[in-house]
Structure 1
Amino acid sequence: MDNNKGCYAIAGSIYANYIIQSIALVIITQFSIDLSRQLDTDLIGIGYVASGIGFGKIFLMFAGGVLSDKFGRKPFIYVGMCCYLVFFIGMLFCDNIHIAFVLAMFIGAGNSFLDTGSMPALTECFPRSAGTASVLIKSFISMGTLILPFIVTFFHNKDIWFGYAFIGFVVYLLINGLVLSSKIFPSKHTVICGNVGDNHYYIGRPNIWFEGVCLMLMGFTTTATFVIILQWLPAIAEQGIGMDAMQSKQLISYYSIASIISVFITAYVVKKILKPIYCIIILPLLSAAILLVFLCNLTAEMSLIAAIGMGFTAAGGVLQLTLVVMQQLFPNRKGFAVGTMYTMSGLSFIVIPLIVPKLVIEQVSYAILVDLVMALASVILGLVVYLRFRKVIDMNKI
Structure 2
Amino acid sequence: MAKSKYYLTAFSLYFTYFIHGIGVSIIGQYKQDFAGAWGATTITDGSFDVSAVLGVIAALGLGRLISLPFSGPLSDRFGRRASGLIGVGLYTIYFIGVAFSPSMQIAYGFALIGGAANSFLDTCVTPSVLEIFPENGSVANLFTKFSISIGQFLLPFFIGMVTAMGMSFRTLFIVATILIALDGVLIAILPFPKKETENSKKEGTTKVKNGKIKFNLLTIAVVMIGFTCTSTFQLWLNCNQELGKMYGLADPSKIQSFYSAGTFVAILLTAFLISKGLNATKVLILYPTISFVMLLVTYFIQTPTMTLIAGFVLGYAAAGGVLQVAVSTAVSMFPDHKGKMTSIVMIASSLANFIILTIAGIITKAGGINGPKYVLLFNAIITFIGILLAVYVNLKMKHPIESAQVS
Match of 2:32 in 1: 33
Percent identical pairs in the alignment equals 28
| Number of residue-to-residue matches in the alignment | 387
The 3-state SS of whatever aligns with 1:181 is helix
Is 1:356 the counterpart of 2:360 in the alignment? yes
Alignment match, 1:383: 391
Please tell me whether the aligned partners of residues 259 and 312 of structure 1 are also in contact (alpha carbons under 8 angstroms). Answer: yes
For 1:56, the equivalent position in structure 2 comes to 63
Report the counterpart of residue 152 of structure 2 in structure 1. 145
Match runs of 1:245-256 below 5 Å: 247-256=251-260
Q: What is the Cα deviation at residue 62 of structure 1?
A: 2.0
Q: Deviations over 1:93-141 (max 9, x none)?
A: 3212101000111111111000011111111111110010001111111
Q: Tell me, yes or no, if the aligned pair for 2:55 and 2:361 is still in contact at 8 Å.
A: no
Aligned to 2:373: 365
Structure 1 range deviating more: 120-129 or 173-182: 173-182
Give the Cα separation in 1 of the matches to 2:27 and 2:262. Answer: 22
Cα RMSD between the aligned structures? 2.1
Kindly provide the amino acid, as one letter, of the partner of residue 148 in structure 1: L
* Counterpart in the other structure of 1:16: 15
- Name the counterpart of 1:287: 291
On the 8 A contact 1:234/1:248 being kept in 2, the answer is yes
Give the TM-score normalised by structure 1.
Answer: 0.92
Mark the CA change 1:320 to 1:274 in structure 2 (over 3 Å): closer, same or farther: same
C-alpha deviation, 1:223, in angstroms: 0.3
Matched, 1:299 2:307: no
Question: What displacement does 1:192 show?
Answer: 6.2
TM-score (norm 2): 0.90
Confirm or deny: 8 A CA contact 2:203 2:332 kept in the other structure.
no
Change (3 A) 1:207 1:92: closer
Contact 1:192 1:328 in 2 (8 A): no
Read off the aligned partner of 2:317 and give its amino acid letter: T
Which residue of 336, 345, 352 corresponds with 2:349? Answer: 345
User: Does 300-309 or 92-101 show the bigger shift?
Assistant: 92-101
Matched, 1:213 2:213: no
Which deviates further from its counterpart, 206-215 or 117-126? 206-215
Instruction: State the alpha-carbon separation in 2 of the partners of residues 5 and 208 from structure 1.
Output: 37
Q: Deviations over 1:236-256 (max 9, x none)?
A: 222x32333xx1122111100
Question: 3-state DSSP class of the match of 1:332?
Answer: helix
In structure 2, the CA distance between the partners of 1:158 and 1:183, relative to structure 1 (3 Å rule), is closer
1:374 to 358, 373, 382: 382
Q: Within 5 A, what are the aligned runs for 1:1-398?
A: 2-41=1-40, 42-189=49-196, 193-194=201-202, 208-238=215-245, 240-244=246-250, 247-360=251-364, 362=367, 363=370, 364-393=372-401
Give the letter aligned to residue 255 of structure 1: Y
